[in-house]
Structure 1
Amino acid sequence: MNGALTRYRIIAWIVGVLLLALTLVAMPMKYFGDNNLGVMIIAPVHGWLYVVYLAAVADLARRVQWPVTRILLVALAGTIPFLSFIMERRVVGWLSGADRQPSFTEA
């Protein structure tokens, strides 16, 4: 499971950085600078790497047996700027048990 988590974390960061570059650099260049070069380069790369991100999410979800709602939330995180970074930290917390709520039987 550690390998799947590492692969997920790496691709989550890559997809997040590319999405930020697309939304904060390439799209303003296109619409305000009349220059399509950034979008023509970054958009396809982000799109293909998002598919790799989905494969990493599926692999991790299969190994830890997540419910469908959690899989969808993590999968969609690669489409909203900054959310892939937040979700990556959340996934690490879920898998390490850091955000686990103590039960009444635990003292």
Structure 2
Amino acid sequence: MKNALTRFRVIAWIVGVLLIVLTVGTVLKYTTGDDTIVALVGSAHGFLYMAYLVLAADLARRAKWKLGFTALVLLAGTVPFLSFVAERVATRRVESARTLVGGTV
């Protein structure tokens, strides 16, 4: 499960950073008319968000998360800065579960 957690953490950060850049680009698009950032980052964020969904679902399955928590983590990639929070909460949850079971983190 450690590898699944690492993959999720990396993609959560990438998706989070790209979403912030995309949000700034969207503001610039509608205030200055320049859509360069949206054109460059929009597709990358969309593609990587799909990878985020797959990796988050894989981690949820391995960690046996409840459906509600899983849904919140999956949706976190759509709100700026929230993927960082979801990554931190998910990491703590996985690490505490591994500690309770007696595994090493």
Off by >4 Å, runs of 4+ in structure 1: none
When the two structures are aligned, how many residues end up with a matched partner? 97
1:34-45 map, 5 Å:
34-45=33-44
SS at match of 1:97: helix
Distance 1:11 1:96 in 2: 18
SS at match of 1:81: coil
Distance 2:95 2:5 in 1: 11
The superposition leaves residues 37-88 of structure 1 with CA deviations (integer Å, 9 ceiling, x where unpaired) of 1111111110000000000011101111111111100000000001000111
- Cα distance, 1:4 vs structure 2: 0.2
1:74-93 map, 5 Å:
74-93=73-92
Distance 1:28 1:71 in 2: 30
Does residue 4 (structure 1) correspond to residue 1 (structure 2)? The answer is: no
How does the TM-score come out when normalised to structure 2? 0.88
- Unpaired runs of 5+ in structure 2? 98-105
Distance 1:28 1:67 in 2: 36
How does the TM-score come out when normalised to structure 1? 0.87
More helix per residue: 2
Distance 2:67 2:80 in 1: 22
Distance 1:66 1:28 in 2: 36
* Match of residue 20 from structure 2: 20
Distance 1:3 1:46 in 2: 23
Q: Which amino acid aligns with 1:66?
A: W
Report percent identity of matched pairs. 48
